[in-house]
A = this chain, B = another copy of it.
Amino acid sequence: MKTHSAHFNPERQRQVLQALLKVLPANCVLHELEDTKPYECDGLAAYTELPMIVVLPEDEQQILATLGVCRELAVPIVPRGAGTGLSGGAMPTSDGIVLSTAKLKRIVQLDKNARTAIVQPGVRNLAISEAAAPLGLYYAPDPSSQIACTIGGNVSENSGGVHCLKYGLTLHNVLRVRIATIDGEMIELGSAALDAPGLDLMSVFIGSEGMLGIVTEVTVKLVPKPECAQVIMASFDDVITACNAVSDIIKAGIIPAGLEMMDQRSVHMVEPFVKAGYDLNAAAILLCESDGSETEVRDEIERMSRVLQQAGATAIAVSNSEAERLRFWSGRKNAFPAAGRISPDYYCMDGTIPRKKLAQVLQGIADLEIKHQLRCANVFHAGDGNLHPLILFDTNTPGELDRAEQFGTDILAMCVDVGGTITGEHGVGIEKINAMCLQFTSEENDAFFAVKRAFDPAGLLNPTKTIPTLHRCAEFGREHVHHGQQKFPDLPRF
């Protein structure tokens, strides 16, 4: 069994434990190795660290009491939802506590007329939709972990999902967040009304990866379940044409409920596994979904089919039943497990680029496959410009892990270079903190730190993550230059 790191200090653990047990019930504080082990990592299992103590408060008062102890004794705090994050945002520190909101899982209120739900942070994403189903409503953002991930984590990561092109990210589906600050105050950000006066601190809080405070309650928007949905599967004989078709759909003023692309390698990887009926001869396929009333869907499917044909689709199939629609989607949704069947390891990237750069960046990734001598399967939210290149490699082949990591860094640098970002929906966490040096200037990182200090002057909340210090960027040896002027001499140029 994993033991504590060299930095672990048992005397310090006793001190903090004693202070916590004065304000919390004993069953809310874990410190034995076998109890804290499940918290040693989140979905980014490559990075692990045993926390000093894990705290599971049952209410707001207990959260405030925990923060009070940490403030007084200067103990770092790593907030944690369900631990499904993919960027190590909930990875513990050996000298700090993990504060899990898992026990706060009450749905406080469902309001059919206002179409809102008030929920505690530990409520699972899908549980909101299940609770709202009898009202004909659901919560739109649908990260692929939605069966397990919690709304508190969604708020911290600003999670998206397949439908976020039409329905938006977490930010666009949350009205109000209640927060415990490290100063021991309760504040409410946002408003049940359309806009709120003052600074829009709710937006800065959503996606702040646990750096600013602890979520204790969230008011989310609910939307009506669409009457029906249909999906088009379109084949293309080259990737560039498929990328241009994505632009054409958006240009035509259509916002599909989902607009996903898979390249030939992804299709070949997935089809034997799920038998979705994908066109194995296509260089790329697009899945374009429409949802709404029957009239709307019929009209939109017709318009999208026309645009896709004009854009050069070689074949078009429209789902004729709900079963067929789910079959078309099954391949896309199982792309990651399928990658695990054909390669011992894979590394999933999360770069996001302006849509019009899709073709250019895919060509760049193809060039990088040759440079790094590794295969890459491309599955992505094409409508959002959110790429998920899956770099396939084998840890047991010497050098492949290093090459895969360098491949990933090169992809992210390319995304920044064309005006995109290093992460679309997985967050920065610990995984992409070096890549932040590619994305932002030291002035921009300074602005982030200034706001971080405004909420957390002592830097106790999720320290060392998300925002890189100037020192770290200097060590990483990359300096950001604005507007794609940066030259990466070893990267393919565009």
- B422 pairs with A197, CB closer than 8 A: yes
- A196 CA / B447 CA spacing, docked (Å): 15
- B354 pairs with A114, CB closer than 8 A: yes
* A453-B451 contact given A185-B443, A204-B201, CB 8 Å threshold: no
- B200 pairs with A204, CB closer than 8 A: yes
- A355 CA / B200 CA spacing, docked (Å): 21
Chain B CB within 8 A of A428 CB:
yes
Interface flags for A451-475 (1: CB within 8 Å of B; 0: not) read 1111100000000001100000000
A:331-366 near B, CB below 8 Å: 352-356
Q: Which of B195, B415, B427 is the one whose CB lies under 8 Å from A424?
A: B195
- A47-55, A233-241, A432-440: which lies at the interface: A432-440
Chain B CB within 8 A of A378 CB:
no
Chain B CB within 8 A of A423 CB:
yes
Closest chain-B Cβ to A129's Cβ sits at a distance in Å of: 15
- A436 CA / B296 CA spacing, docked (Å): 43
Residues of chain B within 8 A of A296, CB atoms compared: 295-296, 299
- A424 pairs with B194, CB closer than 8 A: yes
Chain B CB within 8 A of A6 CB:
no
Interface flags for A407-428 (1: CB within 8 Å of B; 0: not) read 0000000010001111111011
Residues of chain B within 8 A of A453, CB atoms compared: 454
Residues of chain B within 8 A of A196, CB atoms compared: 421
Chain B CB within 8 A of A74 CB:
no
- B203 pairs with A251, CB closer than 8 A: no
- A195 CA / B204 CA spacing, docked (Å): 13
* A201-B420 contact given A114-B354, A169-B195, A194-B352, CB 8 Å threshold: no
- A443 pairs with B193, CB closer than 8 A: no
Residues of chain B within 8 A of A385, CB atoms compared: 193-194
* A193-B353 contact given A204-B204, A482-B188, CB 8 Å threshold: yes
* A450-B443 contact given A115-B251, A427-B197, CB 8 Å threshold: no
Residues of chain B within 8 A of A427, CB atoms compared: 197
Query: Which of A172, A193, A385, A445 lies at the interface centre, i.e. has the most chain B CB atoms within 10 A of its CB?
Result: A193
- A193 pairs with B444, CB closer than 8 A: no
- A17 CA / B439 CA spacing, docked (Å): 39
Copies in the complex: 2
Residue of B with least CB distance to A255: B223
Interface flags for A89-127 (1: CB within 8 Å of B; 0: not) read 000000000000000000000011111000000000000
Query: Which of A199, A204, A419 lies at the interface centre, i.e. has the most chain B CB atoms within 10 A of its CB?
Result: A199
Residues of chain B within 8 A of A419, CB atoms compared: 191-193
Closest chain-B Cβ to A111's Cβ sits at a distance in Å of: 8
Residues of chain B within 8 A of A158, CB atoms compared: 195, 200
- B114 pairs with A356, CB closer than 8 A: yes
Residue of B with least CB distance to A113: B356
- A197 pairs with B421, CB closer than 8 A: yes
* A195-B425 contact given A113-B251, A356-B114, CB 8 Å threshold: yes
Chain B CB within 8 A of A152 CB:
no
- A153 CA / B355 CA spacing, docked (Å): 29
Residue of B with least CB distance to A451: B454
Interface positions of A (Cβ within 8 A of B): 111-115, 158, 160, 164, 169, 171-172, 181, 185-188, 191-201, 203-204, 206-208, 211, 223-224, 226, 247, 250-253, 293, 295-296, 299, 303, 352-356, 384-386, 415, 419-425, 427-428, 432, 436, 439-441, 443-448, 450-455, 466-467, 482
Q: Can you pick out 24 interface pairs between chain A and chain B where the beta carbons lie within 8 Å of each other?
A: A113-B251, A113-B356, A115-B250, A185-B443, A187-B447, A192-B354, A193-B419, A195-B352, A195-B424, A197-B423, A197-B439, A198-B436, A198-B448, A198-B466, A198-B467, A199-B211, A199-B451, A199-B452, A200-B204, A203-B204, A204-B204, A226-B253, A296-B296, A454-B454
5 additional A-B residue pairs with CB within 8 Å, beyond A199-B448, A201-B204: A112-B251, A114-B356, A164-B194, A187-B441, A199-B452
